[in-house]
A and B are shown apart, each in its own frame.
Chain A
């Protein structure tokens, strides 16, 4: 209902609609737009870094600005691009895959998005107010506690706000998956994407609180004169490293697991086969999540934890290669003997397997604690984590976007342009990062502003920079594809690829805002495929046609997030001038006031009447 009405009322109403929406499909759009924008900003920062390192002793940007670039590139890509793009996919797909009409907490879903967005904006405002954070994305103390200016303060407040949003989102998806599954959708019938989102959300739940505490301690040290990381007063800088990595290592699994799930769905759809070793895949996903919490100290081998701790963490890290290997082989076996259709989504997925495996192998190399003393803080590490994050997460996001784009927007992305975007990106990716392993082994340290002439590093860096330009070209073609397809592509079918297996393909593209006219009855793994094999058109309903209960839109999430945003500035600047405490009180007042309104005002949602639904079915927007 709301989109049609909004279009009639014009742009203002459409904006208001998005500001207040609690519909998971629209929140997915918001995450996608915001995450996409931050991805482009982070990419621009990467290009500037690569231009600076194009030739020896370059002075394209100053040393200080370079530090800000590397910090913001890392922070933006992890927290403001990869995370929200994953949340976009989770929002767009999970409720549809489990046969639900929305998430468990639509209001909190919207709150999670706005907190993330305001946190991201806060971080990027720092560019214009005297300098961005410059202590690296890991923000190690005491470099961070002694960094002059307010850059690091922006890091602390921005991540605190967007981190709160992520935690809220994680709990929301956990409850959604536990409580909102359609009848017959047992745990062992859930699509792999839903499974991986479940595990990911658990990791979010247990990992983000450590970051929250770390950021609070950093905030207290920088803004209120406490001494957690101040060695002069008995503090200990290693506390930050531990807290950061207790969060940070699960975070990399939070990033990759949902895309493992997406790849599983894509491989089986485009191979026209059920996923090979479904239960082994589920087991491997859970095991990766479990082991992901026991390996954080492998980032700290050179801290001096001693040989026993280093050995334990080395062995635990290597163990993760086992479940990951199970996954790689199962994907290969899924394709084996299948009727493979090489769509753009499939292209990204197939390219992911060797790319990610290389990253996994260098990971095992790094896990050998004794050898790590040699690799630590060199370009070898940079090469490694870009292989897993770009080769895994970014390839995965591109694949998943191609795959679910028709479900999200009702049109497919142009396949030709999709493949055209893939090749320069793929080639550029390997050009950029493969050589970096060797640069690292030759002794080039990471995070350095310049390298010297005559040390054999010139050619490698030049190749790397050229590769980065190829990746930029690929990205731009993808952006062009989005615009081109919006104008030229025809409306997609409900089962857009023709071989859809899971519930999201049983309903129109895009789905009506209540998703399912009648909650479907799930009769097996790959429920739509089960019905297709029985010669049926769609799903068997599990309930009679009737009124549908839906949540109400609300402007409060926006207000709450705005409150934290204002308070954030107050906290940062009260160090200089106590008058800024007014902003703290005003912001917290807006936040707590909005929470009070939410608590006191009843919000029971509304019903969509049977007649309206029948109307929609006649028009063909619901089925």
Chain B
């Protein structure tokens, strides 16, 4: 097996990479918590409706992007097909949501 002969310093390099990635992930987590606080805070403080709804949605989308790209590693190599299918799903999802909020014939 090729990986049996991997030299020790290579191993060390990998671990360092992982630590580096973990740092990013913890940072991401901190931001996600912060966004959550902002979102809840805005609702509690009863910020103006026209401002708050788009802001809440943007915060949610950014949080989800963090989850996908950092926690689920979509930013890493070898995630082209997953990204394609997630964006495909998201496009159909968006069409569905637009339909159900505008074309439902009340």
Contacts and interface: CB of A to CB of B under 8 A. Distances in A.
B6 to A, nearest CB: 25
Contacts, number: 38
Contact of A309 (B89, B96, B103): B103
B96 A304 contact: no
Interface in B52-106: 81, 85, 88-89, 91-92, 95-96, 99-100, 102-106
A246 B96 CA distance: 8
Given A178-B81, A239-B100, A305 B105 contact: yes
Given A178-B81, A206-B88, A242-B100, A303 B105 contact: yes
A239 B85 contact: no
B93 to A, nearest CB: 9
B88 A236 contact: no
Contacts of A304: 105
Contacts of B89: 205-206
A239 B89 CA distance: 20
Interface SS majority for chain B: helix
A445 to B, nearest CB: 23
A362 B105 CA distance: 28
A242 B81 contact: no
B85 A242 contact: no
B98 to A, nearest CB: 10
A246 B98 CA distance: 12
Interface string A277-311: 00000000000000001100100000111000100
Contacts of A238: 104-105
A202 interface: yes
Given A174-B85, A309-B103, 18 more contacts: A205-B88, A205-B89, A206-B89, A206-B92, A236-B104, A236-B105, A236-B106, A238-B105, A239-B104, A242-B99, A242-B100, A246-B95, A246-B96, A246-B99, A297-B103, A304-B105, A305-B105, A309-B102
Interface of B: 81, 85, 88-89, 91-92, 95-96, 99-100, 102-106
Interface of A: 174, 178, 202, 205-206, 210, 236, 238-239, 242, 246, 293-294, 297, 303-305, 309
Which 8 pairs show the lowest CB-CB distances between chains A and B? A206-B92, A238-B105, A305-B103, A309-B103, A238-B104, A178-B81, A304-B105, A242-B99
20 contacts: A174-B85, A178-B81, A202-B85, A202-B88, A205-B88, A205-B89, A236-B104, A236-B106, A239-B104, A242-B100, A242-B103, A242-B104, A246-B95, A246-B99, A293-B95, A294-B95, A297-B103, A303-B105, A304-B105, A305-B103
